[in-house]
Amino acid sequence: MSRRPDWLISRSGAISPPTGSTSHSVYLVRVERGTSKRSVVVEFADSSAVVSNGYAEEVTRRYLGDDEPPQHLVVELSGDVRIELGPLEPVDDVEGDPPRHASDRDPQRARSHRRGSSGL
């Protein structure tokens, strides 16, 4: 059986800190492998440290060979990286098929909501 290809970083950028976070520097790193896409949140505990998209990507790179990247990483004051929220859980499909994830499913259209209609 051949090894799966690594995840690739497609883009990254600063985002607002998640609710409850004490960090001021937070980045979202988007990764993809084939048609699968994931998001990795990278939080920096030391707001005085020099942080950037590149540093967030560097922190994420060490997980690109994993079957699933973690969803949320925190870079501690010491520089150590802690996994705040691990990988997505697989969704069982047909026996014999490779495991899928909820985020791999085909996109669904949202219901349209019109002003003034009750939807009935």
For residue 78, pLDDT over 80 is answered with yes
Give me the pLDDT at residue 97, please: 46
| Look-up of token digits 């979202």 | 28
What's residue 94's pLDDT? 45
Q: Higher-confidence residue: 86 or 114?
A: 86
Spatial separation of the C-alpha atoms in residues 61 and 67, rounded to whole Å? 13
Q: Are 68 and 101 in contact (CB under 8 A)?
A: yes
pLDDT in tens, 26-70: 999 999 999 999 999 999 988 777 789 999 999 999 999 999 999
Residue with tokens 């492998």: 33
Q: What percentage of the chain carries pLDDT values higher than 70?
A: 72
CA distance readout (Å), 103 to 8, 64, 111: 17, 17, 19
Q: Per-residue DSSP letters for 22-91?
A: --SEEEEEEEEETTEEEEEEEEES-TTS---HHHHHHHHHTTTTSSS--SEEEE-TTS-EEEEE-PPPPB
Choice among 11-15, 42-46, 70-74, 98-102 with the minimum mean pLDDT? 98-102
Backbone torsions φ then ψ of 15, nearest 5 degrees: -135, 170
DSSP state of 102: G
pLDDT of amino acid 44: 94
Confidence of residue 85 (pLDDT cuts 50, 70, 90): very high
pLDDT at 111 over 60: no
Query: What pLDDT was estimated at residue 103?
Result: 45
